[in-house]
Structure 1
């Protein structure tokens, strides 16, 4: 059992950890920054986008895409650091993103804005195809959060936080989805950001229960990493793929003037036994 290590402190609402190259990339929603940090804790800001939510993914060619939620755009970071439009999503209100090995991007959105007190409506997942076309590919997800694609490009898994389940879909060659099913019921678990490992298990971060949990298909709990604050998302990476990275902060509520305690955002790493697989 690895020991939880702290790589960075003093940030805001942290989300969207992604291991790429030899560093962990993640978003600070409070400051509108995408940052990178190495295993020694040395970090830098790589992009600034005033967006809440602010989630990222990597294209197969190594370029980053960034969800600019208020603008309804999917941005692409070019090699010189400039940001250009990768796709027009058509309206604001987007949340998480994952890109599969074919270059298909899955972007989800809630059906309502809880921060504005809007009446509940279920959310959906949209596909941004490699050629830029945008289409809805799944609906009736109560509150879609983290997403992951298995290493064979065959399955998309979506965290439905409100229903406390992980939902799975079969992915066709063209990126469309079918075969919807509940992959795991999580009991009291509230899944946010997720990732998949090489044994087909899923790690999910949990804000209200202050933990990160590894579960098998159908929901058996395989391991739990306890935190002292809400866990917003997790990713596997490192040299062997066996570092579990978790981003957390002290949660104050969706309708609070500041959703997390200022400066409480931290980045953690812990060694685990099974390496990551698939995306992110």
Structure 2
């Protein structure tokens, strides 16, 4: 099929013969942090280097949602429908309350400032999980150079008590993250130390205990060409990952099933639409979407 690379036969069943990749909007500098708002029927995403959060609505196009955004990156919704956003400039997580006010949730661990929270997801118990690499404070393009106070890590936050726990610190550059549908596995993209010539770049998978601790952390899959940045998961547990040539679909066993080919390097992606069967894709400076024969795991 044109526009796809079917590697395993079952991937063909995830595709629809009468649809293809759509270009929704362009002219951005670098798209990140896609999150679907089903109750508002809109998509929010970051135009990160321009320090603004954008909103896309079918038939109405793109409008400004928030500027400045604190050089916002990853976004998610909590179980009350509130927006949780990572901020590079402020080195924290923000929550937008239902009345529109903004609350700073966390900016420190063990008394030291976080680096530059990158991606975030919310578990069904309300706990907030996020990655904290150094990327956003290493240059002036995506937040502004600042000194790091602690190593890159993955954290979980109890928004009720404010308690923060480091759940994995053996990363050079933790990036996108996503839970399996049953929340017993956590996938985390290791994007590595990009100041090195050959950084570590692959997706890792962890087992999640009922108490919220992680074990394992084995190599799950290595994206080629490029590397994994954003991740999302469908109803069957397949992992959909960004890549240099588009979006790669990976089985729960770590096998590459196929690719959605995209003209530009993909940074981030999320499932959305009324039935959660529309994959929204941040392709560098262009926003794309495609309808699939699979539903994503998305809230709400």
Give the TM-score normalised by structure 1: 0.84
Give the alignment's Cα RMSD to 1 decimal. 2.5
Assess, with a 3 A threshold, how the Cα gap between structure 1 residues 130 and 83 changes in structure 2: closer, same or farther: closer
- TM-score norm. by structure 2 comes to 0.79
Residue 91 of structure 2 is aligned with which of 72, 75, 79?
72
* Contact 1:71/1:92, CA 8 A, preserved across alignment: no
Name the structure 2 match of 1:152. Answer: 182
Instruction: Find out whether 1:202 has 2:239 as its counterpart.
Output: yes
Q: 1:123 aligns with which of 131, 152, 158?
A: 152
CA deviation vs aligned residue, 1:221-274 (integer Å, no higher than 9, x gap): 22211122111111112122111110112xxxxxxxxxxxxxxx2111111121
Q: May I ask how many residue pairs the two structures share in their alignment?
A: 262
Deviates more, 1:30-39 or 1:226-235: 30-39
Aligned match of 1:182: 219
Match status 1:233 vs 2:273: no
Query: SS of the residue aligned with 2:229?
Result: strand
Match of 1:84 in 2: 103
Match of 1:215 in 2: 250
Rounded to whole Å, the distance in 1 between the matches of 2:48 and 2:218 is 31
Q: Does the CA contact (< 8 Å) of 1:106 and 1:127 recur in 2?
A: yes
For residues 156-167 of structure 1, what are the structure 2 equivalents within 5 Å? 156-162=186-192, 163-167=200-204
Tell me which of 22, 39, 43 is aligned to 1:5.
22
Q: 1:278 to 1:184 in 2, by over 3 A?
A: farther
Distance (whole Å) between structure 2 residues aligned to residue 39 and residue 61 of structure 1: 24
- Aligned partner of 1:142 among 167, 172, 186: 172
Q: Which runs of 5+ in 1 are unaligned?
A: 250-264
- 1:199 to 1:189, Cα distance in 2 relative to 1, 3 A: farther
2:120 corresponds to? 97
CA distance 1:99–1:247, change in 2 (3 Å): same
**Whole-Å separation in 2 of the counterparts to 1:169 and 1:10:** 37
Q: CA contact under 8 A between 2:208 and 2:215: conserved in structure 1? A: yes
Determine helix, strand or coil for the equivalent of 1:61: coil
SS in 2 for 1:95: coil
**Judging changes above 3 Å, is the alpha-carbon distance between structure 1 residues 226 and 279 closer, same or farther for their aligned structure 2 residues?**
same
Cα distance, 1:189 vs structure 2 = 4.4
Q: How far has the Cα of 1:191 moved from its partner?
A: 0.4
SS in 1 for 2:79: coil
Q: Partners of 1:159 and 1:88 in 2: how far apart?
A: 22
Alignment of 1:6-25 (within 5 A): 6-21=23-38, 22-25=41-44
Q: Provide the C-alpha distance between the structure 2 equivalents of 1:279 and 1:220, rounded to a whole number of angstroms.
A: 26
Name stretches of at least 5 consecutive residues in structure 2 with no aligned partner. 1-15, 140-144, 193-199
Please point out which of 235, 249, 266 is paired with 2:286.
Answer: 266
SS at match of 1:234: strand
Shift of 1:278: 5.3
Which among 191, 200, 204 is matched to residue 228 of structure 2?
Answer: 191
- Please identify the structure whose Cα radius of gyration is greater: 2
Cross-structure match for 2:132:
109
Aligned partner of 1:34 in structure 2 is 53
